């Protein structure tokens, strides 16, 4: 496979650090066929690209996945599910017209200090959609009103969570956690092995929600290490 390395740029997650990416440069057909292999090597999709961090002096970004057959919800996660019993979940192959307005609201309120601000429809489309891989949409509604959407890719070994956006005015509902739990549930129903959650960054508070799902595995030094707490238990 052919790969390219981007120039260094300011890190989006840790202050005063530079970021660099390793990007797969294959044709779209080859990207589609290699995606299931590359995700097991710590890669991730964003729009049309498959990439992983390639920083010379930093290894803070660790790909994290949940082996769903072994997953056990914590007490707090069970409470989150209970709090959201009135949310009606549907799994769809195409998006609905009201998705972008919720995405825009989410970015404007919850992430106005982030790299995705200010939001635009073109940015949303280029981030979520891909010519060679069609995502699925896990939507949640209360009395018909859209409250959250998890965008995810279905692969042979599991689901790859791309992005979740939800009503930022419903903070007490813990919808971010709720939609991860819904993706774990969907993996189990589809008899898939893993839910890939992207990159865990211990030094970034906004990225620390992923490490609360146990057991999980982290990609470190080209190996997947299993954690049932903050310490690895096996390779």
pLDDT digits (tens, 9 = 90+) for 130-183: 999 999 999 999 999 999 999 999 999 999 999 999 999 999 999 999 999 999
Q: What is the mean pLDDT of residues 75-87?
A: 97
pLDDT at 48 over 70: yes
Q: What is the helix (H) or strand (E) element at residue 65, kind and residue range?
A: strand 61-67
Q: What is the residue-averaged pLDDT of the chain?
A: 94
Q: How confident is the model at residue 230 (pLDDT cuts 50, 70, 90)?
A: low
Question: Quick check: 207 and 201 in contact, CB under 8 A?
Answer: yes
pLDDT recorded at residue 235: 46
| pTM of the shown model | 0.94
Quick check: helix, strand or coil at residue 58? coil
CB proximity list for 187: less than 8 A, separation 6 or greater: 68, 158, 159, 193, 194, 195
Q: What percent of the chain stands above pLDDT 70?
A: 97
CB crowding 117-139: b at 16 or more within 10 Å, else e:
eebeeebbeebbebeebebbbbb
φ, ψ at 227 (rounded to 5°): -120, 135
- The pLDDT tens digits of the residues spanning 121-142 come to 999 999 888 999 999 999 999 9
φ, ψ at 138 (rounded to 5°): -100, 105
Pull the structure tokens for residue 53. Answer: 């961090």
Query: How far is CA 148 from each of CA 60, 89, 90, 128, 131, rounded to the nearest angstrom?
Result: 29, 9, 11, 15, 24
Q: What is the C-alpha separation between 224 and 167, in angstroms, rounded?
A: 34
β-pair partners for 142? 145
Quick check: helix, strand or coil at residue 30? helix
């Amino acid at each position: 496979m052919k790969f390219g390395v981007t120039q260094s740029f300011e890190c989006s997650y840790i202050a005063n650090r530079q970021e660099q990416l390793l990007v797969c440069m294959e044709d779209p057909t080859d990207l589609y066929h290699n995606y299931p292999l590359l995700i097991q090597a710590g890669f991730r999709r964003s729009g049309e690209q498959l990439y992983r961090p390639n920083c010379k002096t930093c290894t803070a970004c660790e790909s994290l996945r949940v082996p769903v057959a072994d997953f056990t919800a914590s007490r707090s996660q069970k409470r989150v599910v209970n709090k959201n019993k009135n949310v009606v979940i549907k799994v769809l192959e195409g998006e609905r017209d009201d998705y972008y307005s919720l995405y825009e609201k989410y970015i404007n309120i919850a992430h106005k200090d982030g790299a995705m601000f200010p939001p635009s429809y073109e940015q949303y489309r280029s981030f979520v959609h891909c010519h060679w891989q069609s995502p699925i949409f896990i939507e949640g509604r209360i009395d018909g009103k859209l409250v959250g959407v998890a965008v995810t890719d279905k692969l042979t070994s599991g689901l790859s969570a791309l992005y979740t956006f939800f009503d930022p005015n419903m903070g007490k509902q813990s919808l971010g956690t709720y939609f991860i739990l819904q993706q774990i549930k969907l993996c189990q129903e589809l008899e898939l092995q893993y839910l890939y959650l992207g990159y865990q960054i211990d030094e970034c508070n906004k990225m620390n929600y992923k490490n609360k799902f146990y057991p999980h595995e982290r990609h470190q030094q080209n190996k997947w290490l299993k954690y049932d707490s903050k310490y690895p238990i096996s390779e």
